[in-house]
Amino acid sequence: MPDSLDLISLGLDGPYLAIRDGRLTLEGADLGAIANQFGTPCYVTSEGQIRTNYRRLRDAFAKLYPATRLLYANKANNSFAIRRILTQEGAGGDCFGLGELTLCLQAGVPSDSLVLNGSNKGEEELTTAVERGVRINIDHPDELVLLERVAARLKRLAEVNLRILPFSYADLGSLGGDLVEIALDTSHDKWGMDRESAREALTWALRSVWVKPRGLHMHVSRLRPNAEPFMLACNLLTQAMAELRDAAGWTPDTLDLGGGYAHLRDPESGAPAGSHAVATSEEYATVMIRTLRAGFQRYRLPEPELWLEPGRSLVSNATLLLTRVGIVKRLPNASVTWVNVDASTNHCLRASLQGYHYTVLPVERPDAAPDTTVTVTGPTCTLDVIAADRQMPRVQTGDLLAILDVGGYAEVMATQFNLLPRPASVLVHKGDAEPIRRRETYADLTAGQMLPARLI
C-alpha cells in the first residue's frame, strides 16, 4: 500500500487541479464551497485546463506541420459553454448528427471549420450541411445518391471527404506485437469504406455535377496510450492516397485523421492512473508527421491540409464530479468497505459500460496515506459501482469525494435511471465558479411525458 499519492504521476501538482493546504482545488477554487453553493453531485470544469489542452495539441502539430486544423469532437462533451471556449480558441468541430452541428453553428464556429460525420445521415442533416457549406465525411457510396439529390435541389455544391476503414487492409505479416491486434480489431467497421468502395465512391463523385471530393478521413478511435496505431494509420492513408491517384488521377487536398488521443490519467485505459505511460501531444505529433511526410515522399504526393478531431484529450481531465458520502458500510467479515455516495454510474456511465477506471479522491487530505479498501457505489437499485476495491484514506458520512477526468463521455451520457435528476454543471475560471447547466428538478423528469385522457 503506498504511503501517499504520487502527485507528479497523477498530475496533481499543476496550476489547475492541485492539492493546496491539504485540500483538492481546481484553479484555486474551494471545492467544498462549490459543493455547498451548487449541491452534489455536481460537475466542475476548469476553463484554464481546456484552453491549455487545446493550445498544447495545436502547437505540437503546428510546429511540425503548419497546415493543421483542430476540429473538436463535440460528442465528448456538448456543453454550450465548453463549445464557446473552444470556439474562442479557434477549434472547428466534428459533428455527429444535426444536434451537434446546430450546437456548433449557434456557438459561432465557421462553417468551413466543421465536418459532418455519421454512418446513416438523413436528408435533414445533409440539407443543413450543404446549405451552410459544411464538409461531409462520406461513409458509404450509397450516401452519395441522397447527397446529390439534396445538393441539386439546393443548387449548392456539396464538398466531401471519403471515410476509409482504419486497419483492415494491413499486411498482417509485416506487423508486430500490438499492431496485429489493432489491425484485426473490426469493432469499428460500422464506419468507413473498404478500398474498393472508396474507389467506387470517388469515381461516382468525380462524375457528379453537385458533389466535389476534397479529402480522405480515417479515425483510429479506440484508446491506445501510445502513438503506434497512428503511425500505422498514417502509413495506410498515404498508401490509399497513392492508390486513388493511380486509379482516378485524384489526390486529396485534406487528410482528416480523426481522434483517439490519450491523456494523463485517461480513465478509458481501465488501469490505475500513473500505472502506464501515455503519449504526449508532442509525441503524437512527431510520430504522425514524420510518418506522413515519409509516405508523401515515397509515393510522390503533395502535402494536403491536416485535420484532427480530438475530443476527450481536450476536455476529459478538465472536469471532476463532486459527490457527498452518505452511509459507510463496514461488514464484520468483509474485506471491503462500501462507501455510498449521491453520485451514480448514471453520471459516469462508462465506469459500468466499458470499465473506465476513474481516479477517486477525498477533497480533504487527498494525499493522506490510504488505510482502507473501499468500493464507491451510487444510490440506484443496481450495483452502481463507480470505483471498486480502491485504497483510500478513511472517509465518513458528509465527506466530499472528487471523481476525476469525467469531462469526456460522462455528462453527455448521463441518464435518469431510478428517476435521478442529472447534476448541475459549474465552470471555474481563475477561482470563480459560475453555473453552466442547472440541476434537473423532479418536475423536469416527467415534463415530457403524456397521459392519455382515458387514464386520467
Active site positions, annotated: 381
Supply the angle between the helices 228-248 and 281-299 in degrees, to the nearest 10: 30
The residue with cell 496533481 is 12
Residue 362 and residue 396: Cα distance in Å, rounded?
10
Residues 374, 390: contact at Cβ < 8 Å? yes
Of the candidates 294, 267, 284, 383, the one whose C-alpha atom is nearest the C-alpha of residue 336 is 383
Q: What cell numbers appear for 285 in the block? A: 505529433
Interstrand relation of 319-330 and 337-341 (parallel, antiparallel or unpaired): antiparallel
Of the candidates 172, 298, 160, the one whose C-alpha atom is nearest the C-alpha of residue 239 is 298
Buried/exposed 408-424: b ≥16 CB within 10 Å, e otherwise: bbbbeebeeeeebbbbb
Residues 94, 309: contact at Cβ < 8 Å? yes
Residue 234 and residue 179: Cα distance in Å, rounded?
13
Residues 238, 218: contact at Cβ < 8 Å? no
Residue 344 and residue 357: Cα distance in Å, rounded?
14
Residue 9 CB: number of other CB atoms within 10 A?
13
Q: Is residue 452 classed as helix, strand or coil in its secondary structure?
A: coil
Residues 382, 309: contact at Cβ < 8 Å? no
Residue 437 and residue 439: Cα distance in Å, rounded?
7
Helix, strand, coil share of the chain (percent; to 5) = 35, 25, 40
Interstrand relation of 23-26 and 385-392 (parallel, antiparallel or unpaired): unpaired
